[in-house]
Amino acid sequence: MAGTSSVGTALDSGNAPKAAFAPVSDFAARQELNLIAAAREGDRDAYGRLVELHQDRIFATLLRHVRDEHKARDLAQETFIQAYRAIHTYEDRAKFSTWLYRIALNLLTSQHRAEVALKRGGGQSKASLDAEGMPEPDATVRGPDENVAANEIGVIVREAIETLDDEYKSVVILRDLQGLSYEEVAEVLGLAPGTVRSRLHRGREKLREKLRHLE
């Protein structure tokens, strides 16, 4: 697609993801706004620079969820392609990073629905629940039958998450599956940190109730 070649180039040349959020100076913020304005005018180099500025954070967040580098990179690239197509709709009153995370979250939600429908997935592998209400990771080696059971449990967990109300589902995915901090979740969803904590607590309770039969 015209205008997106710089997206793939920047992503392909990226190194290991850095911290999810980094302080942004006033100068850097103004520079970013200038790049956004140029990208809106069709400057592909400017948009490529925006990709370079944000790709590590988007990729790291996606990787925490899908746990597959190739899938995470594909999702990150699709995030930036969609952002390029819709950059004229971006409003400066919100952080550009927040806008990108929302696009990435929508892509993740769509992927979850597709995986549940096709009975794919199974990233979580153990039936027991930890104190947070989420399945604990299992590092032990399993036989074929155990792998099948683990995949089935993973599908059940994903289906349970999908049945949560959107206000709870979003915070559970971002906090418990993607590993964002409370402050990061609040910024992505445009909520107060206290609201994130209360929704997460309630969402975990609802999820624990749905998965109680796995204990």
pLDDT tens-digit readout, 48-85 = 999 999 999 899 878 766 778 898 899 999 999 999 99
Same domain, 89 and 126: no
pLDDT band at 87 (very low <50, low <70, confident <90, very high): very high
Q: Region 193-206: what's the mean pLDDT?
A: 94
Query: Which contiguous run of DSSP H or E holds residue 44?
Result: helix 44-66
Same domain, 5 and 73: yes
Q: For the chain, give the mean pLDDT.
A: 75
Same domain, 157 and 123: yes
CATH number at 193 reads 1.10.10.10
Count, residues in the chain: 215
pLDDT band at 25 (very low <50, low <70, confident <90, very high): low
Enclosing domain of residue 158:
119-215
pLDDT band at 169 (very low <50, low <70, confident <90, very high): confident
Instruction: Give the span between the Cα atoms of 59 and 16, in whole angstroms.
Output: 9
44-81 in b/e form (b: 16+ CB < 10 A) is bebbbbbbebbbbbbbbbbbbbbeeeeebbbbbbbbbb
Distances (CA, A) of 129 to 132, 163, 171: 8, 18, 18
pLDDT at 199: 94
**Residue at 108 is within a domain:** no
For residues 40 and 147, the model is more confident at: 40
**Residue at 212 is within a domain:** yes
Q: Region 82-94: what's the mean pLDDT?
A: 89
Same domain, 215 and 123: yes
Structure tokens at 118: 């096709």
pLDDT at 113: 74
CA-wise closest residue to 106 among 12, 169, 47: 169
Kindly provide the residue ranges of all beta strands, DSSP E only, lying in the chain, ordered along the sequence: none
Same domain, 3 and 77: yes
List helix spans (H) across the chain: 5-12, 26-40, 44-66, 69-85, 96-117, 144-163, 166-172, 182-189, 193-210
Q: Which of 1-15, 28-42, 49-63, 90-104 has the lowest mean pLDDT?
A: 1-15
Tally of domains within the chain: 2
CA-wise closest residue to 96 among 48, 7, 35, 143: 35
Indicate the pTM of the whole model.
0.56
pLDDT at 1: 47
**Residue at 111 is within a domain:** no
pLDDT band at 35 (very low <50, low <70, confident <90, very high): very high
Same domain, 203 and 149: yes
Task: Reply yes or no on whether the pLDDT at 158 is more than 60.
Answer: yes
**Residue at 193 is within a domain:** yes
Instruction: Give the span between the Cα atoms of 57 and 100, in whole angstroms.
Output: 10
**Residue at 109 is within a domain:** no
